[in-house]
Amino acid sequence: MRFSPVVFTLIPVPALAHSGNHTPNTVIQNLYHLVTAPDHLILAAGAVALVVALIYLRKRRA
pLDDT along the chain (62 residues), means of 10: 66 59 78 83 90 93 81
Domains: count for the chain: 1
Is pTM beyond 0.75? Reply is no
48/17 Cα distance (integer angstroms): 20
12 in any annotated domain: no
15 in any annotated domain: no
The pLDDT value given to residue 59? 92
1/11 Cα distance (integer angstroms): 20
The pLDDT value given to residue 58? 92
C-beta atoms surrounding 4 within 10 Å: 8
13 in any annotated domain: no
36/38 Cα distance (integer angstroms): 6
Amino acid at 46: G
47 in any annotated domain: yes
46 in any annotated domain: yes
29 in any annotated domain: yes
